[in-house]
Amino acid sequence: KLPIMKRGEPGEAIIFGDSAHVLRTNIEQIYGDYPSLDGCPLAEGELGDIADGTMFIGLQQYYKNYGSPYKLCFGPKSFLVVSDPVQARHVLREANTDYDKGVLAEILEPIMGKGLIPADPETWKVRRKQIVPAFHQAWLSYLVGLFGYCNEPLIKSLNDIAESKDRKAEMETYFCSVALDIIGLSIFNYEFGSVTQESPVIKAVYSALVEAEHRSMTPAPYWDIPLANQLVPRLRKFNSDLNLLNNVLDELIDRAKQTRQVEDLEELEQRNYEQVSDPSLLRFLVDMRGADIDNKQLRDDLMTMLIAGHETTAAVLTWALFELTRHPECLKEAQAEIDRVVGDRTPTYDDINQLKYLRLIIAETLRLYPEPPLLIRRCRTENNIPAGGGREATVIRGMDMFIAIYNIHRDERFWPNPDQFDPMRFTRPYSNPDIPGWAGYDPTKWENKLYPNEIASDFAYLPFGGGARKCVGDEFAVLEATVTLAMVLRRFEFEFDSDYQTADKCSINDMPKRTDHPVGMRTGATIHTRNGLHMLVKKRLLE
Ligand code: HEM
């Protein structure tokens, strides 16, 4: 076996830290006539397949050719691509401490610092313990009402559009705005009001998001090159937007610290949120931990949640409306459930429990359009992954990895008719004896939960990841998406705006394969539409 260079050994470029080590190992393996250390096939194909903004679709094609895992090379850089639930379970849960966020952490560090997503394992351990209790039951129940409040401007805007002559609405943008308003108010008690207005702070949030996405698609960290931040106009603009956002967050943190009420965890978890003037997560973190939390750490945590909790939910709302418009029978059933359970009221937590079909729609949307479609890891210590439905492999230290959730969610060995939108599939058990070590899908395992999770599917369904670094906002997101859909679908009907057909009038059913489609798909951190979700809006006729 190749001797592996240790971090900081002579010869390793300090500027790129771990990346230099990975790069060297990869160059030696691929071009230096050394055998591949992991025993995986090398995927070869057109780079164009993955460079057009739909990388996850290209990775699915390679998966069909090479199985799991395979190795993908971009010039001297390579990634191991894992597309199997047993292997994903191993990396995310069983051998979790042997992996970190690798490239993702390097990309996101300038934006999120040591926030939970990019945090190194040591920082993560401390922060995760402090943040998880903030998502307690009393807060989540209260938030359902707050989500309803944040949806009112959206309902009003759609009403105005439905009464206008052309009835046109680009729904992806509307869902992004409502999700931003929700995250602002619930995480740090800030009213963006983005459904109805634009502001420099809102623009700064979008600039940070666009830059984070751009960086995640850029192989070389050009922003680390000396003076680049001063000389490149795009980076100058980004840094000034980031400063603006950081200043707003600093102000909110200072204010929360000055008005801190000392309480213990138990008292905080029993709080009557209806009587609290600032019910935000920031308030909870400050009240619980006090003035001893470093402002920079708090800011990193808030920025992480702002970015992680905003576009993801907007994307699931967008694709849910897209699929419901294509499947009127599912829409009718959802609307009948909403009429029966909620009617014209603002939904409550108990209502959400009863809106089971609507929650299945959200779950099925996340199966077809996982946000993000790929998880990123880097191996910290040489590690063997089990075969599952693929092949065993030795992952060398420093190897970068994609866990292709999109591939797992759309594999017929785990999900029969995988490309079919079928919310009721989550009510039917499924097993496959051909996959050693996979327990199958068992609907009884999520009976008391809000959505069919990774445990019920033994890691074949990973909308919020799994293991120690699973999403902390999973229930928040499901509640938010359910409230928003319940309020919108109760009041409006939608149809695709035919002005947005391409010249050849390609069918909506071609969408996953086509990049020139009027809706189309493209990725950054999440799956966006390529051209917006352009709809015609009509008020619903209610008896
Ligand atoms: C992590 C998905 C909403 C905060 C994750 C991960 C996934 C995910 C897949 C795991 C990443 C990994 O293992 O590399 C989603 C989806 C959402 C959503 C699909 C909406 C539909 C939210 C919300 C928040 C949030 C609303 C906060 C309010 C986080 C944080 C992490 C995370 C802080 C990092 C957890 C850790 O490393 O300990 N999310 N998320 N997410 N998410 Fe979410």
Closest-CA residue, ligand 1 atom 14, reads: 375
Amino acid (one-letter) located at 216: S
Give the Å distance between the CA of 224 and the centre of ligand 1. Answer: 26
Check if the beta carbon of residue 288 is closer than 8 Å to that of residue 256. Answer: no
> Which atom of ligand 1 lies nearest, measured to the CA of 128?
38
Give dist(CA 395, CA 404) in Å, integer.
Answer: 16
Using only the alpha carbons of the chain, give its radius of gyration.
23
Closest-CA residue, ligand 1 atom 34, reads: 117
DSSP lists the bridge partners of residue 124 as none
Q: How far is CA 255 from CA 5, 189, 412, 466, 522, in A?
A: 48, 11, 52, 35, 39
Give the Å distance between the CA of 542 and the centre of ligand 1. Answer: 37
pLDDT band at 359 (very low <50, low <70, confident <90, very high): very high
Residue 102: is its pLDDT beyond 80? yes
pLDDT given at position 99: 93
Residue 10: is its pLDDT beyond 50? no
Report the range of poorest mean pLDDT among 191-205, 382-396, 463-477, 515-529. Answer: 515-529
Q: How far is CA 209 from CA 105, 176, 307, in A?
A: 15, 12, 7
- Supply the mean pLDDT for the chain: 85
Indicate if the alpha-carbon torsion angle 527, 524, 17, 73 is positive or negative. Answer: positive
For residue 404, give every residue at least 6 positions away whose Cβ sits within 8 Å of its Cβ, in sequence order, or none: 56, 59, 60, 63, 81, 82, 83, 373, 374
State yes or no: ipTM above 0.95. Answer: yes
pLDDT given at position 45: 59
**Average pLDDT estimate for 432-459:** 96
Give the Å distance between the CA of 57 and the centre of ligand 1. Answer: 22
Check if the beta carbon of residue 256 is closer than 8 Å to that of residue 278. Answer: yes
Q: What secondary structure letter does DSSP report for 180?
A: H
C-alpha closest to that of 499 among 166, 163, 157: 166
> Which atom of ligand 1 lies nearest, measured to the CA of 101?
14
**Average pLDDT estimate for 189-213:** 82
pLDDT band at 14 (very low <50, low <70, confident <90, very high): very low
> Which atom of ligand 1 lies nearest, measured to the CA of 376?
14
Give dist(CA 234, CA 460) in Å, integer.
Answer: 40
Give the Å distance between the CA of 473 and the centre of ligand 1. Answer: 6
Give the Å distance between the CA of 164 and the centre of ligand 1. Answer: 38
C-alpha closest to that of 216 among 376, 449, 368: 376
SS3 of 133-165: HHHCHHHHHHHHHHHHHHHHHHHHHHHHHHHCC
Output the pTM of the full model: 0.91
**Average pLDDT estimate for 142-161:** 97
pLDDT band at 96 (very low <50, low <70, confident <90, very high): very high
Check if the beta carbon of residue 475 is closer than 8 Å to that of residue 135. Answer: yes
- Tokens for 238, please give them: 């980004």
Residue-wise pLDDT for 474-493, tens only, equals: 999 999 999 999 999 999 99
Residue 7: is its pLDDT beyond 50? no
**Average pLDDT estimate for 86-95:** 98
Question: Which of 361, 365, 471 is the pocket-test mutation for ligand 1 (most atoms within 8 Å of CB)?
Answer: 471
> Which atom of ligand 1 lies nearest, measured to the CA of 371?
19
Check if the beta carbon of residue 108 is closer than 8 Å to that of residue 212. Answer: yes
pLDDT given at position 3: 37
Check if the beta carbon of residue 158 is closer than 8 Å to that of residue 189. Answer: no
Q: Which residues line ligand 1 (CB under 6 A)?
A: 116-117, 128, 304-305, 308-309, 312-313, 316, 366, 371, 375, 463-465, 469, 471-473, 476-477
pLDDT top residue among 164 and 44: 164
**Average pLDDT estimate for 98-121:** 88
